[in-house]
Structure 1
Amino acid sequence: MAYAGPPQQSWPVRPPFQRKVREVGAPLGVLILLGIIAGLIVIALTALNPVGASIGFVLSGLAIAVVVLAYIWLDRWEPEPTRLLVFAFLWGASVAVVMSVIIGLFLDALIAAEGSEESSWISIAVGAPIIEEAAKGAFLLLMMTGRRRNELNSLTDCLVYAGLVGAGFAWLEDILYIAGGESLGDSLLTAAIRLIMGPFAHSLFTTMFGIGVWFALQNRNAIAKAGCILLGYVGAVIMHGLWNGSSVIGPETYFAVYFFWMVPVFVFAIVLGVRSRRREQRIVAEKLPGMVAARLVTPSEATWLNSIRNRKLAIGHVTRTAGKPAGKAVKAFAAQVVALAFVRDRIDRGFGDERVYAMQTEEAYAVHAARMAAPALQALAGFHAPPVR
């Protein structure tokens, strides 16, 4: 049954594509290749400095694990495909790093040819940000193409992908810097500075690019799209340049930039992420009445599908009474309802084309399939979650 929406509205539904539109993920071979590249880089660093690389691998892994978990938490409402999340991290830890190193070496050679004392500062504060943010941002541009575009349903999605690309880049870069220490003390000092003060730094820089991509997706005009992406890229480069440049000038400038610029922007990014996730919740709540009218969702189910808290209560209730497999099936049903709501929202905002209407039909059928696979939903017939405040 196609999602028809409230009776008072006429929402056209097109025939579904022959292949599933929603299922998007990076090919397994690509993930393996990127993982091998990242692994070879770590192995090479270990061969050059076993102690430093080992310290970097452990400490950077722990710090970046916190960053990754933070983005997974942010992504709870409409979880992205696991393979794409892994793809984002591995892109940052392999493609972006390799691109940055190759282009950076070429640029450093050109700058060093001048022989001035300012060449080193220019390379760190200008050259590195321009190259690295372009290499990381290339993943988000890739996400805007083909079926991957269907996964960028909200600002939260853009923030999550940008953050994970930055996390992957930071993970390998931190290992590289820590392994470059001439002694154990140097490695530990570098680890303390980089991992205590800046584990979220690269993710924060690329967040600016992610915001630009999100605004680009809200425009139909090609020039406006390019302008939004360019502004996001420039914002990422400026933030990165201030961070790198302050570390070269001196500790006073470095700490001033950290506390009076980086920390406020970081707080802003947190607020932006939380507000974006709340907006996702509002979108789903607004589309539930239409799903109830189309008999895709029952009135009882609508009471617990409208918030993360209520959804957790319902899934927990099923898990306790019918077991973990039943709870996972209900969770999959809830995720499918959310996916349909975002497709419907895209149409309501005027971005509906033949492909999006086909997605709507596919997602509606997928909701039916998820319901058939979750007989434990019947156990929630009398379950009424508390109202959302």
Structure 2
Amino acid sequence: MDPLTLLSIALAPGIFWVWFFYKKDKYEPEPKKIIIYTFLLGVLATIPAGIINSIFVPSSLEKAGILMIFFAAFIVVGPVEETSKYLAIRVYALKSKEFDEPIDAMIYSVTAALGFATFENFLYISQFGPSLIFMRAVTGCLGHAGFSGIFGYYLGKAKFSQPQIKKNNPVLKGLVIAAFTHGLFDFVLFTQTILALLFLPILIIIVYFLTKRLAEMSHVSPFKPSELTNFMCPNCKKNVLPSSNFCPECGFKFNR
């Protein structure tokens, strides 16, 4: 299969999930330019991560002992890849004036993660064939999005929280949790034993966390219209001040 076709196959799930999560930012969506650049920076983040991984992680873990697998997953791959994705949004998106609501940090982190996963997809299907893309679309893309969504959540809290919360260094906390979760996911897969079956419940929990936290961040958006401002007269359907006892247009009396 020619490289262009492989690239298209690798891109498809990543682009879909970027669009899917982008739509979660309902009230003040990010400019598409930032999303595109962040995705590309996520792709570039695979370079330092790949170099470090290749130095410290054996090319094949099939014959490695449990300690080496633990080291590879928890000490190298998890921390290195999550830090690389964090730096991918630190150099550009987090400096943007468009970073003006908590959910933005999650959108940035998920987008960079999907850029990272997309390049991984290309490498995997180049080596093992395009049929692998269906599994990668779920495990690779959603896994990376979920891991990085964790530190994105804490980044959003760090920027828009009270000073006492910022003192607890939520960014570092988010990175540590993301790296640990990523390491745990890879660890069970690297063992290639019955433990590998645990990847599915881990992935489900990660995706559940991601969707719940995206909803939470969207709910606290400063751009969310107040429910009170949307009060409408049930009789004439005109907008009415929340404090009104009757409609100034039709005279309908409200039952308060």
Given the two structures, how large is their TM-score scaled by the length of structure 2?
0.76
Once the two structures are aligned, what percentage of the paired residues are identical?
A: 18
Could you say what the CA RMSD is over the residues aligned between the two structures, in angstroms? 3.4
Aligned to 1:38: none
Aligned mate of 1:237, from 172, 175, 179: 179
Secondary structure of residue in 2 paired with 1:92: helix
Aligned mate of 2:136, from 182, 190, 194: 194
2:21 is the counterpart of 1:71: yes
- Stretches of structure 1 that go unaligned for 5 or more consecutive residues are 1-50, 182-186, 290-299, 304-381, 383-389
What displacement does 1:116 show? 6.5
Deviations 1:55-81 (A, max 9, x none): 642332221122011122112320112
2:68 is the counterpart of 1:119: yes
Q: Measure the CA separation in 2 of the matches of 1:144 and 1:75.
A: 15
Q: How many residues align?
A: 231
Paired residue type of 2:53: G
- Structure number, greater radius of gyration: 1
Higher helix share: 1
Aligned mate of 2:116, from 147, 164, 169: 169
Instruction: Tell whether the 8 Å contact from 1:53 to 1:178 is kept in structure 2 after alignment.
Output: no
Q: Measure the CA separation in 2 of the matches of 1:97 and 1:235.
A: 20
Q: Measure the CA separation in 1 of the matches of 2:239 and 2:22.
A: 25
- Stretches of structure 2 that go unaligned for 5 or more consecutive residues are 231-237, 242-248, 250-256
Instruction: Tell whether the 8 Å contact from 2:103 to 2:153 is kept in structure 1 after alignment.
Output: no
The structure-2 alpha-carbon separation of the partners of 1:268 and 1:223, relative to structure 1 and needing over 3 Å to count, comes to: closer
Instruction: Tell whether the 8 Å contact from 2:38 to 2:92 is kept in structure 1 after alignment.
Output: no
Paired residue type of 2:186: N
The structure-2 alpha-carbon separation of the partners of 1:52 and 1:178, relative to structure 1 and needing over 3 Å to count, comes to: farther
Output aligned runs, 1:211-360, within 5 Å: 211-217=153-159, 218-220=161-163, 224=167, 227-250=169-192, 252-259=194-201, 261-280=202-221, 283-285=224-226
Q: Measure the CA separation in 2 of the matches of 1:240 and 1:53.
A: 29
The structure-2 alpha-carbon separation of the partners of 1:280 and 1:256, relative to structure 1 and needing over 3 Å to count, comes to: same
2:4 is the counterpart of 1:57: no
What displacement does 1:119 show? 3.2
Paired residue type of 1:240: H
Secondary structure of residue in 1 paired with 2:141: coil
Q: Measure the CA separation in 2 of the matches of 1:128 and 1:216.
A: 25
Instruction: Tell whether the 8 Å contact from 2:49 to 2:80 is kept in structure 1 after alignment.
Output: yes
Paired residue type of 1:151: E
Instruction: Tell whether the 8 Å contact from 2:189 to 2:199 is kept in structure 1 after alignment.
Output: no
What displacement does 1:92 show? 0.3
Q: Measure the CA separation in 1 of the matches of 2:142 and 2:195.
A: 19
Paired residue type of 1:81: P
Q: Measure the CA separation in 2 of the matches of 1:77 and 1:222.
A: 25
